[in-house]
């Protein structure tokens, strides 16, 4: 015999907030089994458990810093697609174009919403710095709290501490010079190229 529960218990069962459950209902993702005369929602436990256990979407996240890296973005997305397809996952690739220090990118904000709402089963990235230059561990902690698997493909060999530090410094220079001079200005490009030469000489 089916067991029916109210919205608070249903949200707790799914591990989401009541507001999220209501939003899912508006989107048609969850439908109450019945309503009382006073319009109280009742959800079927068996149906909710089925939603909880089904293979939710795998999100593969790809990012590059600038427009002239669009070719790299395409290759990165292809690596992610091939990896997910090989494992038979139901997946979607989310692409972003922007600095790893920019937390307002459209794709990243969409990814964070899906993590917080528990609408995905796993996150796949080629390397942690493709997610964020600083703060990737925080996103991974959110995934752990929401029982979302994190997969790092880690193409190629691991870079040294010095190389990683050099990349971080170059990212900072790129962001601040773009703010000062504009991302496409000649002065900005000259400054970045000079920084690359200087950093490569020191590493």
Q: So what's the pLDDT on residue 1?
A: 52
**What pLDDT score was predicted for residue 191?**
61
- Which has the higher per-residue pLDDT, 68 or 75? 75
3-28 pLDDT tens trace: 888 989 988 887 778 888 888 888 77
Residue 140 predicted with pLDDT over 50: yes
Cα atoms in the Cβ-side hemisphere of radius 13 Å centred on 92: 11
pLDDT at 157: 47
| pLDDT for residue 162 | 57
How far is the C-alpha of 173 from the C-alpha of 102, rounded, in Å?
Answer: 13
Range picked from 83-87, 99-103, 129-133 for highest mean pLDDT: 83-87
pLDDT for 172: 63
The angle that helices 7-14 and 45-53 make with each other, rounded to 10 degrees, is: 20
For residues 198 and 182, give the distance between their C-alpha atoms in angstroms, rounded to a whole number: 22
pLDDT band for position 47 (cuts 50, 70, 90): confident
Q: Cα angle at 122 between 95 and 145, to 5 degrees?
A: 115
Q: Residues 146-181: pLDDT tens digits?
A: 889 999 997 454 545 455 556 656 666 665 666 666
In terms of average pLDDT, the best of 13-17, 33-37, 91-95 is 91-95
- 99, 175 Cβ separation under 8 angstroms: yes
Strand, helix or coil for residue 147: coil
Q: What is the mean pLDDT of residues 29-55?
A: 78
At residue 141 the predicted structure's pLDDT band, cuts being 50, 70 and 90, is very high
User: Which of the two residues, 125 and 183, has the higher pLDDT score?
Assistant: 125
- Backbone dihedral angles phi then psi of residue 63, each to the nearest 5 degrees: -150, 140
Please give the backbone phi and psi of residue 34, each rounded to the nearest 5 degrees, phi first: -165, 170
pLDDT of residue 180: 65
Residues carrying an active site annotation:
65
Q: What pLDDT is attached to residue 94?
A: 94
């Amino acid at each position: 015999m089916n067991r029916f529960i109210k919205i608070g218990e249903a949200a707790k069962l799914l591990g989401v907030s009541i507001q999220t459950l209501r939003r899912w209902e508006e989107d048609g993702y969850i439908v109450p089994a019945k309503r009382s005369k006073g319009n109280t929602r009742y959800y079927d436990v068996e149906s909710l458990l089925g939603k909880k256990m089904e293979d939710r979407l795998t999100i593969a996240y790809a990012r590059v810093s600038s427009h002239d890296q669009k070719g790299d973005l395409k290759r990165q997305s292809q690596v992610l697609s091939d990896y997910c397809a090989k494992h038979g996952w139901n997946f979607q690739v989310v692409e972003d174009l922007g600095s790893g220090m920019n937390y307002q990118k459209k794709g990243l904000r969409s990814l964070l919403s899906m993590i917080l709402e528990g609408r995905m089963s796993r996150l796949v990235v080629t390397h942690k710095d493709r997610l964020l230059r600083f703060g990737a561990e925080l996103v991974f902690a959110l995934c752990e709290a929401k029982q979302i698997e994190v997969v790092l493909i880690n193409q190629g060999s691991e870079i040294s501490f010095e190389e990683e530090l050099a990349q971080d410094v170059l990212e900072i220079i790129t962001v601040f010079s773009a703010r000062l001079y504009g991302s496409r200005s000649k002065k900005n490009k000259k400054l970045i190229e000079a920084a690359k030469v200087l950093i490569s000489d020191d590493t």
